[in-house]
Structure 1
Amino acid sequence: MIDSNSQFFAILTAVGEAKQANATALGVPWTFKEMAVGDANGADPIPSRTQTKLINEWRRAPVNQVRTDPANPNIIITEQVIPSDVGGSWIREIGLFDADGDLVAVANCAPSFKPLLAQGTGKTQVIRMNFIVANTAQIVLKIDPAVVLATREYVDNAVIEALAKLDFKHSALVATTANIALSGIQTIDGVLLPSDARVLVKNQTQAKDNGLYVVSPTGVWIRAQDADTSLEVTPGLFVSIEKGTVNGDSVWQLVTDGPIVLGTTALAFEMVAGRTGVNAGSYRNVTVDKYGRVIAGTNPVTSIAEGGTGATTADAALSALGGAPVAAAIPSVSQLDSTTDFDSLVDAGWQSALYGGAAGERNPNHPDGQLPVSAESGIANYYWGMVAKYASNLIQVAFPYVSSADTALATIKFRLFGGDEKSPWRSLLHLDYFRSAAANATEALRGVLRIGTLGEVNAGALDTVVVTPKKLFNGAVIITGNYAALKLPTWLGGWTLQKGSVTVTAEGSGGASVSVTLPVAYTSSYALNATFVYTGGRLDNGNVAQVRDKSLNGFTVDNQWMGSGSSLAGVIDFFAFGR
């Protein structure tokens, strides 16, 4: 009869002991395949090492998990899940069979009836057998992917392990700036560490000790749960830093190449985003790191030989250069052949004389042709000429004298020289003609595009206009803080997303209702969701968030208690979406 003095345990059978010894000696794998349960014909069984079968087995099925106990590596845990549609018998004895079909371990348990759904109740039952072995090295640990049932504990552990292997780690409070002792409470980067704070350790003399740690207030720090095995510390992992005078609001990357053996491989972290220590401003000389970030900037005084004057005003710069530049000597009218005039200007520089003949005559080389000058002709006199010269190739530019009678045709002219060949004089207006004749740019053709109107940008139909940053951001609003808002620009419909949190007391204590004014008022309508969040331990209670008095610019939220458990104080989070 089962009572408070009854003992329940699991042991290896004689066959199991022999097979374990053989696997350890020969180094061959030992695989557990199935678990069986029985009712022992209603008796209270005592496991015996001489057993080769259960007393009265009524179910046998593959194991869905074989693993070692995290707290004791010499304890093997085997597990099987019995679904809700199997049962109708008592469970008093458990057996474990290997791949050869031999009973290698047997256990008794407190009687448990496994009902069938047809009986009006049902349950999914987990059967576990824990037994001690001398050596687990040759035992094949497994999870059967063909078994779709799993315990909640297994799923929770699997999720935690999977997340820990991701390259993006949970943020750390601070990052070290020098070698430290990995123990106790201390101040790092200007921040006094609280107990259990996460710290990125990156400056240890022994780089193998770098990594993510959790602060222990009394003893040695331990590595963070998501970075305490080699599988979880992978090349390229990222971690964000929350606070610190030097490293606050930065992101660091592990740049050590794999394979990585935690505790043996030297770990090196580099900042990929964050403050570099250079104040905002303009600098003449800057130093850029391999990521393209400015890590140093100076404003030195450079010598003339280095291409600068070290001056901050025009007069001081000219003085440093030895005075204002002196124009080169230029020919006068009397030095030019009156029959060739502009053709004679073949040297670079400015000409300060009227070309074309003092008597008002023109020759074929004049920018406005050979017609004589008259007050009504509209023909401009050209007082200035400039030549850009390379070998025998020239570009000649003529600037007009503008009077009340000349304005219609007084435009800047240019022509090209190529040896003895000269092009006709052209007006710079030709450039405008060229621009107006240019084709619109496409994905395959270079060209010109005009700036789109706000209506065209909002419509989003054209592919032949340019969008400016002002129109791209038109109507957008960004508000941060406890009440935060993001209003999309008009070309995205102007939809507004808002969120926030309010603290509420328990219902009936005078503060369970809170009025909320949204950071951005809606103009049409919006959807709203509010949720009560309790920050303490798990409790059975019926607290819910109730929204009332909803308007376009806010609402009132209540902490309601539905009668289950007790009323609690907490936080109500809300999220709104609309326009």
Structure 2
Amino acid sequence: MADYYTLLTNGGIAYETACKAAGVPIKLAQISVGDGNGAVYNPDANAKALKREVWRGPLNALFQDEKNANWLMAEVTIPSDVGGWYVREAGLWTDTGILYAVVKYPESYKPVLATSGSGKEFYIRSIFETSNASIVTLLIDDTVVKATRAWVMDYLAKGTYSKAEIEAMIAKASALPVGVMVPFPLGTVPPGYLELDNSLFKDDLYPDLAAYLARKFNVSGDAAGYTRLPESRGEFFRGWDHGRGMDPGRTIGSYQADAFKSHTHTPPNQTGINSAAVATGAKSLGGNTYDTLYNVGFTGDTETRPRNLAVMWCIKAWNAPINQGTIDIAALAALAAQATELNQGTAKVATAVQMLDSANDLVMITPKKLRLGFAASFTPTGYFVFPSWLGGLVIQWGAVEYQTDGDSLLAVSFPVEFPISVLYADWTVESGILSSVIGSYVHQVTKKGMYLTCDKQVSSVATVVARWFAFGR
């Protein structure tokens, strides 16, 4: 890893995941800087705040890297009238107050004129990677975001715009208004737009667009709570006449069928045809038929059209600063927080080490890991082995033949070795000969096995089936 870098936090990743699932943009609003509590440090993905924040302000710009589609660059200029501290860390914040990313920043002093004798604007750029940079948007507060002094002075020096005009342009350059139609040369609808394909959308998803269109293009039978988009596929756009008189009687947003303008054709001079006679409506002149001369067919296409380029017309559906749709931002913030018994938030998948930590209540166990350490054999000589995170209990059983002569020991090997110790072991014989048995005994129990013996009242030797049982951990 580089010496200085930007790290997405776990809270930021969870917020991004929630936004993707809900189909809403990721909105970054502010950046903060801190002094690292006196030292440069390596950021932690679990961080929810900077070590020690010294300044916070709105982001000036957020743009995509030209060479890497998943890299975003966030920029801010700290004003010259604040400072007197070192910058060693920075944080990017969502509009809901979640620390989205934390920056390990090279130690730099930010002076302020009042105490340092000099002052300067301080420029910070953070480069970070996200899984889909196109859904990350910049939330602009028009009242506080400003360009750098050098950028403004460059324009002022040219004398083209006043300072007020420049500041107004900067403030209004963050987003196109909802309802604007934009042509795109590719068939992919960009984030924030909908294709003008006469389809219906749910008003709750794009309330600003629904309010703007006001169901103008809806037709009888459309469900309540839905707005229909206009149809642009295969259509040419024409400027609304709006009182000029070139295309009178039209309402804005209305469709118009194709047509030919009324006109006449003057035929060339033909042998045997008198133009005066033609004008009187004669049908046959000089041996030629009038209809034959005038009803001339031309081979062509199915429509009259100019040269053109096929584009996909889209309409702006939402702007990050104002449109939240039906998404509960408080719920998103809760979802991005650590999951607990009281909060249905986000938790990581447990590693094998974390799963074995019985005190860890902050991770999730997958079905695959639920079987980690578990084993079983359902044969006549079998066993259950429970994983250590469930106590590590081992249960074993079996059956062997044994001659009850009262002297010999029968060695029994366990199917699996007990990892730690045997807690209990015993055995019994078939019920048919119990009356002749004084007692059965277990000897020399180890983790690998044990010895069995029993006493019999008669001198004859009997063969019995010894059924044994043991458990431990």
TM-score scaled to structure 2, two decimals?
Answer: 0.33
TM-score scaled to structure 1, two decimals?
Answer: 0.27
Higher relative contact order (CA 8 A, sep 6+): 2
- Which protein has the larger Cα radius of gyration, Structure 1 or Structure 2? 1
